[in-house]
Structure 1
């Protein structure tokens, strides 16, 4: 009887991981939101849009979590290209699918 809820939660987590295109690195749980930015690009037919988002903390606080949410739920990709968790800076590369724009909400936690 106790295994049914556990199996349900695992199945739900698997569906979310396979369907979501959001970037989640580190943890936001019990951490303070330091910075947030909305990154948008309009669509150009037959082209992929790429945007680099740079963050550097002048207070040199260590990043504990990064979340980049795709607000349009497209097949766009977000990757951390430099820094990230354990550093005081982060470079995030956003790349849209062909013919689509970008609409991301980026949050950095310390």
Structure 2
């Protein structure tokens, strides 16, 4: 009975993690949130929407963590195209599903 329950919980956790399209890089625990931004882009039927966001720290502090959360839980993707953890800047690229909007919340920690 316990083994079946543990297997069910592990399977459910795996399914939730594999469906998630959030971007989490580096460590955010015990680090200071320095920048928070909402990325939104309206949908156009039958087209994928692509948007780029750039952040550079004016104090040249090293980025320790980045979180980009998909607020609509779609299959949109987010990737780091330049900089990121270990740098003082980051360039993020967001790409929506075909015919869907983008709605992300981005957080940068130093």
Query: Structures share a fold, TM > 0.5?
Result: yes
Q: 1:104 to 1:7 in 2, by over 3 A?
A: same
Give the structure 2 partner of residue 50 of structure 1: 50
Q: 1:4 to 1:34 in 2, by over 3 A?
A: farther
- Give the CA deviation at 1:5: 9.2
Give the structure 1 partner of residue 86 of structure 2: 86
- Give the CA deviation at 1:14: 2.5
Query: TM-score, normalization: structure 1?
Result: 0.89
Unaligned runs of 5+ in 1: none
CA distance in 1, matches of 2:56, 2:32: 16
- Give the CA deviation at 1:15: 2.9
- Give the CA deviation at 1:6: 7.8
Give the structure 2 partner of residue 98 of structure 1: 98
1:24 is aligned to 2:24: yes
Unaligned runs of 5+ in 2: none
Q: CA RMSD in A?
A: 2.0
**Map 1:59-78 → 2, pairs under 5 A:** 59-78=59-78
- Give the CA deviation at 1:4: 8.9
Q: Per-residue displacement from partner, 1:53-102 (whole Å, max 9, x unpaired)? A: 00000100000000000000000000000000000000000000000010
Q: 1:34 to 1:8 in 2, by over 3 A?
A: farther
Query: TM-score, normalization: structure 2?
Result: 0.89
